[in-house]
Structure 1
């Protein structure tokens, strides 16, 4: 069956392994982001992506079956970058006040979403509409960190329930920040500060509650 965007995509696609192939995939993904940034989903077709990337549609179909596959790859890349930044801050062995570590975690996320927000909003909407679980590994890893004494924002381990609630609240705020219009209030900095206070107070209150029940 012919692809509505033009051409006949192959039955299977292949993962890039050689440097030349990975370079082509990088060109394709960058082209897709440029089109999304310029005009959103209406501009995103396999023909337009191939043309912008300077490759043939046949070459594009070697790595992506359709534009949804391109969006999936973009989502995977965004979440991977986000996960790396957040976990690096959580695991940083440097001594610092707990509030500062929390603020760095928040900034690690918001800094990533500060560039090409329109593109990232479209990619996230696509991911959520397909019931994706790309944030699952990050949530699981973060909960694991927060339930250990060494990496908890309050310096003590949170219960699994506390870590679960806190992490998912954090992720929810991040999603909302991406989905909102660029000129909406409040400002990113205000959200960062409020979220940092939420995490710190939540962890500290959990510590007090456990001390009282001990």
Structure 2
């Protein structure tokens, strides 16, 4: 089985970007395991491309961010090439920790994972976009997760309080930790990689 050039190019750039930006030892172990797993491609789902209104309004602004780092610039360009083939969705459930404008002001895409462009269960790799002044709801999940942030914005996990990783910032969410994010005056754009199977090889 052979991946499309667009997806393989994106994954190659993603590995370099995460390798340069992820400093937490647990994140690096998780990312190493994820990309080793991704060496074996799985079937893709063609013709699923779908943008939500928030994407049409804010994706180009998110893509235009000045990172100051070649690896991140290449990562964004490779994602731009792949993005028309991806399906963006709203988060179907949320609570009162979300801002009132949350539903129509955010979008998530599963690049690799359940229902994603490459449909598989052993790795989840996706991206989130939020319009300005939006708060994502508090949530948690069993898989550990490593973020790579490509915009301004703030995050919290556990009892950390709100913090700003900055463009190119990366942080690790242990399994089950409560976390959330919020945008300021600009769109928030971030990638996340989850490892559903916590058993390290």
TM-score (norm. length: structure 1):
0.26
Larger of the two Rg values belongs to structure: 1
TM-score (norm. length: structure 2):
0.27
Q: Which has the higher helix share?
A: 1
Q: Which has the higher strand share?
A: 2
Bigger relative CO (Cα 8 Å, ≥ 6 apart): 2
